[in-house]
Structure formats: structure tokens, C-alpha cells
């Protein structure tokens, strides 16, 4: 396919909108869904966030049977190095971690990584997801306009941020 937009990277097959990737919903391996459900209950945005992210990474790797290292280098960009089998995170953002983990699972396919991470995040953090706004495929937080706010509130009273 020809490159139509100069500023877009060659491998950057990013979906253009969040709706393109969250509908229809993705179905996950039950072990992996359980891992993220447990992580969600651990109140990821409270206490020692980096230790919680590391636990999540180890448990997800185990669920998929992959051997990938993850480390934090705050201040740099987040990325997955396929040669070193290494995820580098510049932020404790849960969506970013899930995104880079999806690259570890399935390579440089951005459409897959965005779909995987946003679906997984929505499944376990519906309230936080509802507060995101989207600029193309990029999830931005916080924001206005929660959809189905009342319903989600009742369902997720314990969800923390
Ligand atoms: Zn990516």
C-alpha cells in the first residue's frame, strides 16, 4: 500500500478511530482475562504502582507462555524491542503497558496492539475507559462525557484511579 501521509511511519497501521477497534469486542484467553481482572482489583493507581505493573507483566507473560522482560525508563518513550524481547515503559499507564505487551505477543502490527489494549482495558476498567477521550487511536485522559455513566457507576463502584 502506498504511503499517503508523510508523517505516518511505514509500519504505523494505526486504526483511525477508537470505535474501529472496540466494536466488535475482542475475546481474550481466559487466563489472561483473569490476570487483568485481578490486577484491576489491586487498585492499580494506588500505592506502589511500579510493583503492580511488574506483577501484571509477569502474570500476563505466564498466561501466554512468553518470555519477555519489562523495565521502566521514565522519561523516554515506551516501546517494544523485538530483538531483545524487551518492553520499555516510560510511564505507569496501564493502556500503554497493555499496548506494548500486545506488540510482544503479535509484533509490530499497530492495529492489533491498539485493538488488544483498548479492549482489554475496557473489559476491566469500564469506568476509566468511559472517561477517556480519543484523538484518532490515541486514548487521552481524563475527560468529560462518560457514556452509560449511571450503569457503569453501579457496576464499578470499587474501581479506583
Ligand atoms: Zn504500538
Q: From first to last of its 161 residues, what are the pLDDT tens digits of the chain?
A: 444 444 444 457 777 766 666 777 899 999 999 999 999 999 999 999 999 999 999 999 999 999 999 999 987 799 999 999 999 999 999 999 999 999 999 999 998 999 999 999 999 999 998 888 777 667 776 544 443 444 444 444 445 44
- C-alpha 93 to ligand 1 mean position (Å): 14
Cα-to-centroid distance, 150 and ligand 1 (Å): 32
152 Cα to the center of ligand 1, angstroms: 28
Question: Separation of 100 CA from ligand 1 center, angstroms?
Answer: 6
**How far apart are the C-alpha atoms of 101 and 130, rounded to whole Å?**
22
**Predicted TM-score (pTM) of this structure:** 0.78
Give which of 144, 135, 128, 131 is closest to 114, Cα–Cα.
Answer: 135
Domain ranges within the chain, ordered by starting residue: 19-160
| Ligand 1 center from residue 11 Cα (angstroms) | 9
Q: Are 148 and 130 contacting, i.e. CB atoms less than 8 angstroms apart?
A: yes
Amino acid at each position: 500500500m502506498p504511503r499517503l501521509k508523510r508523517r505516518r511511519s511505514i509500519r504505523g497501521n494505526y486504526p483511525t478511530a477508537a470505535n474501529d477497534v472496540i466494536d466488535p469486542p475482542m475475546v481474550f484467553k481466559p487466563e489472561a482475562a483473569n490476570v487483568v481482572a485481578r490486577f484491576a482489583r489491586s487498585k492499580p493507581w494506588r500505592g506502589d504502582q511500579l510493583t503492580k505493573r511488574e506483577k501484571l507483566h509477569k502474570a500476563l507473560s505466564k498466561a501466554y507462555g512468553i518470555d519477555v522482560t519489562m523495565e521502566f525508563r521514565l522519561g523516554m518513550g515506551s516501546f517494544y524491542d523485538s530483538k531483545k524481547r524487551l518492553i520499555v515503559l516510560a510511564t505507569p499507564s496501564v493502556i500503554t503497558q497493555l499496548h506494548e505487551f500486545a506488540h510482544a505477543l503479535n509484533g509490530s502490527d499497530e492495529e492489533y496492539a491498539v485493538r488488544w489494549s483498548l479492549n482489554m482495558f475496557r473489559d476491566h476498567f469500564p469506568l476509566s475507559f468511559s472517561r477517556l477521550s480519543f484523538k484518532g487511536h490515541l486514548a487521552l485522559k481524563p475527560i468529560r462525557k462518560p457514556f452509560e455513566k449511571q450503569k457503569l457507576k453501579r457496576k464499578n463502584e470499587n474501581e479506583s484511579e
